[in-house]
Structure 1
Amino acid sequence: MSKPYDATIKDLAAEGPADFVSWFDGPTTLAVTLLNVDLSTVTTAADVVFGIGDPLTEILHLDAQAGPSATKHLDVLAYNVLLHRRYRVPVRSIVLLLRSSLATAPLAVLGKLPETIGLTDGLAAVVRQLAERLEREAAGDQADRLLVAAYVLTGLRLKASSEVQQLFQ
């Protein structure tokens, strides 16, 4: 079943596939395309899948994980096998932890705010900077789509929807 963050991650990936791959996997000199992968014949769907190279030489699979899963490694293995079977190129997977509670040391310290700054205050500063940057750099409806994406993803971090709404007023 698709979750709201799945569509958000896919939309962000579609904005700039090469940038997205570079951010999570390092730069590549090869062409990067976002693959529209439907693995529904085996009742599974991958979050985001990038084809690298033209012709295709490898696949990067990005899996956004918002909640704990004792079997995530099995899902990733299944995606790798199915993608390799379909495209006949090497497949690599990256699991993107969307909640800090999923991380274990040393990952748990990444993105942590200083103890003197509360979560809502820290996020408010990020949202302000994001809005300012989008006003300067985004074209057309891109700013609106990216703000909606930020809103959806912020909802993964804050428990109360009213807190999220206040940040984006």
Structure 2
Amino acid sequence: MSYDNTCKYLAEQYPADFIKWLLSTETSDIEILKTELSLEPIRADSVTFLQIINTILHLEFQTLPSSNPAMDFRMLDYYTRLKREYGCQIEQVVIFLQQTTSEIVFRQEYVDTNTRHRYRVIRIWEQDPTPLLANPALLPLATLARSDSPNSLLEQVAAAVGMIEENDERQNISACTQILAGLRFNKNLIRQLFREEIMQESVIYQDILQKGEQRGKKQEALALILRQLPRRIGSVSPQLQEQIRSLSVPQLEDLGEALLDFSSETDLINWLATQHS
């Protein structure tokens, strides 16, 4: 299950709540920016850009501490891209979801010979659950917050979810809560406290399943093509590989057929050019 994408859904569905929590600012004048800046090789699934008047809040949700490129470099890379594109103040927050002792989750800056770039890190397991319990949009995150009695905390979250009046919102928050709770709790306990059919009926649950299936299909198609191309045209440059990775599933399927007629790298270059024309 995609824990990172569940958080991305919440941040984009309830941007004002996340801005209030992270920036202590109340505003309804928010624009969710598209992730055109999210170019390969950086995986953009869990990235959210929220723009308020003169500030962009860049959120990055991480289940595992390791990533490629490394998280600290990714934050620098995004900062420079955002600054170049929008020229405004940028607040960057990485939210780590699963408790770990990895030194990566305690790192809050990128340091190189002539560069030092700082960003904010939240380790959700260290957070006070009280403000999270008070906001329906943050209830899923509350399941992972600090507690001496995690099971009691989960019961509190389940009770708060059950009090959400609007049916669709209750279904979607319940689904997100159950997904994130899976990082910490036994499935049987989650099922005892939440109605499974509510999760299955939820829009976000169905959307995550569909995206998961699509990612699986893309990875399979990509792996097959990157195995076949060298047999047809020899080694493929890293630049061309990145262009191939950016293709959609239908485009990858088309490439899988087209490459049977390729005899040189030029054929691949020309085919890729038709996909961006």
Q: Report the TM-score range of the alignment, normalised by the length of the smaller protein.
A: 0.7 to 0.9
The separation in 2 between residues aligned to 1:112 and 1:94, in whole angstroms, is 19
- CA drift at 1:142: 1.5
Q: Is the 8 A contact 2:83 2:90 kept in 1?
A: yes
Question: Any idea what the Cα deviations from partners look like across 1:40-83, whole Å, max 9, x if unmatched?
Answer: 44332251110111xxx221101112122372211211121222
The separation in 1 between residues aligned to 2:2 and 2:183, in whole angstroms, is 10
Give the number of equivalent residue pairs.
154
Residue 142 to residue 84, structure 1, CA distance change in 2 (3 Å): same
Partner residue of 2:22? Answer: 24
TM-score between both structures, scaled by the size of structure 1: 0.75
Which residues of 2 match residues 63-102 of structure 1 at below 5 A?
A: 63-69=60-66, 71-101=70-100
The separation in 1 between residues aligned to 2:36 and 2:55, in whole angstroms, is 17
The separation in 2 between residues aligned to 1:96 and 1:39, in whole angstroms, is 20
2:177 to 136, 150, 161: 150
Question: Any idea what the Cα deviations from partners look like across 1:83-122, whole Å, max 9, x if unmatched?
Answer: 2223232322011121233566xx66434223xx3x2343
1:112 to 140, 146, 155: 146
SS at match of 1:101: coil
Question: Any idea what the Cα deviations from partners look like across 1:132-156, whole Å, max 9, x if unmatched?
Answer: 2x1x3xx341211111111111112
Which residues of 2 match residues 35-54 of structure 1 at below 5 A?
A: 35-44=33-42, 45=44, 47-53=47-53
AA of the residue aligned to 2:78: Y
AA of the residue aligned to 2:174: L
Percentage identity across paired residues of the two chains: 27
AA of the residue aligned to 1:47: V
The separation in 1 between residues aligned to 2:28 and 2:176, in whole angstroms, is 27
Residue 30 to residue 112, structure 1, CA distance change in 2 (3 Å): closer
Q: Does the alignment pair 1:128 with 2:128?
A: no
SS at match of 1:48: strand
CA RMSD of aligned residues (A): 2.6
- CA drift at 1:30: 7.5
| Relative contact order higher in (CA < 8 Å, ≥ 6 apart) | 1
The separation in 2 between residues aligned to 1:29 and 1:161, in whole angstroms, is 37
The separation in 2 between residues aligned to 1:14 and 1:41, in whole angstroms, is 20
Runs of 5+ in structure 1 lacking a partner? none
The separation in 2 between residues aligned to 1:150 and 1:123, in whole angstroms, is 9
SS at match of 1:93: strand
Q: Is the 8 A contact 1:49 1:61 kept in 2?
A: yes
The separation in 1 between residues aligned to 2:33 and 2:155, in whole angstroms, is 34
Q: Is the 8 A contact 1:9 1:48 kept in 2?
A: no
Moved more, 140-149 or 120-129: 120-129
Indicate the structure (1 or 2) with the bigger Cα radius of gyration.
2
